[in-house]
Amino acid sequence: MLPTQLINDLATAAGNHYPAVGTAAAAGFTDFGSAGALNFPARIDVFNQVTLHQNVLQAVGDLLGVTLDTLRLSQSDLWPKYGRANSQMLPTATDNIQDNADQRIHVDYPNHSLVHPPPWHKPEAVEMILYLSESTGGLGGTAVVPRTGTDDPAYRWPIIDSPGIGDLRYINNREAAEEYFASQRPTLADFRRLLYERETRTDFRRGDLLLYRHDTWHRGTPLAPGSRRLVHNLTYRKAASEWISTLHTGWAWQAYKDDKFLERLIAGATVQQRTVMGFPAPGSDYWCSATLAAVKARYGMFGLDIAPYAEACKHP
């Protein structure tokens, strides 16, 4: 789906950005959500290229059954995971229950959406994991529970039986989460056991792309000690699904930077790429003679071509 050279360039850039295996910085890195994580838009051009790549956007459009002008980017972040000898940390320790080495099986929608994913035949978002490292014998592969059909017992409705949903605490560590869940929902212990029995682990290679949904049961698994896995997480949603939040830091604070990075990114993007970022599409009710002139004044000096918006303008 993505050119090999683009994947290799991103892997190199990400590898240089994050601490090397065995360093003190790596030992103190807490994986997903850490300070210093690459977020869109990043000052690494290849990262932004992958985020807005035509093939990626087209795959999402095909899966959701929509045109690309109705897609919106809601997540683009890239982070490392380190294998360590003490990956099986004591889950009863307060500072270890959120440990990311061996995750509980879960679905992603609680921190993406204010509501619950719609039924299977009405998809509204596509998540992706782009693997930038080679697999180490299956270690570190994402474990996924494939959906077998409309009556799959693993996907009974609503999908709420996981720590972090409803009144259940958010606990990331697998052992701690399952111990807690059993104490709070003892009648559902067999259901959680079924999920682990059904999981299948990805044996990824560099450049592999896992596409899934916010309501897919999955989890991260431990890596071998002394190894590092780099992944780029991406999510795109239907523009109308405003209840799905933007997860990465976003562009807002980039507008204060003296290097005008954001302005140059906007001006240099294609019309379609701008639209995915949330820029008003040609034909939007936003556009009129006044806004056309104003946006041209803001971005014209950086090379933005206002013509596509002027040609499709519906208002004087």
Whether 166 and 264 share a structural domain: no
Whether 161 and 258 share a structural domain: no
Whether 28 and 99 share a structural domain: yes
pTM for this entry: 0.93
- Of 248, 266, 301, the last residue of a domain is 248
Q: What is the pLDDT of residue 30?
A: 66
Q: What is the pLDDT of residue 208?
A: 96
Whether 238 and 273 share a structural domain: no
CB 225 within 8 A of CB 87: yes
The CATH number of whichever domain residue 74 belongs to comes to 2.60.120.620
Q: Which domain holds residue 187?
A: 4-248
Number of domains comprising the chain: 2
Whether 9 and 119 share a structural domain: yes
Joined together, the tokens standing for residue 34 give 């850490």
- Of 220, 248, 276, the last residue of a domain is 248
Whether 267 and 314 share a structural domain: yes
Q: What is the pLDDT of residue 94?
A: 47
Whether 271 and 208 share a structural domain: no
> What beta strand segments (E) does the chain contain?
38-39, 71-82, 125-131, 143-144, 200-201, 209-212, 218-219, 228-238
The length of the chain is 316
Whether 51 and 185 share a structural domain: yes
Burial of 43-71, coded b for 16+ CB within 10 Å and e otherwise, reads ebebbbebbbbeebbebbbeebebebeeb
Q: What is the pLDDT of residue 135?
A: 80
Separation between Cα atoms, residue 7 and residue 20, nearest integer Å: 19
Residue 142's identity, in one-letter code, is T
Q: What is the pLDDT of residue 29?
A: 76
Whether 299 and 211 share a structural domain: no
Separation between Cα atoms, residue 155 and residue 158, nearest integer Å: 8
Whether 114 and 218 share a structural domain: yes
| Residues of the chain falling short of pLDDT 50 | 87-94
Q: What is the pLDDT of residue 28?
A: 72
Whether 313 and 244 share a structural domain: no
Whether 223 and 131 share a structural domain: yes
- Of 216, 248, 280, the last residue of a domain is 248
Residue 210's identity, in one-letter code, is L
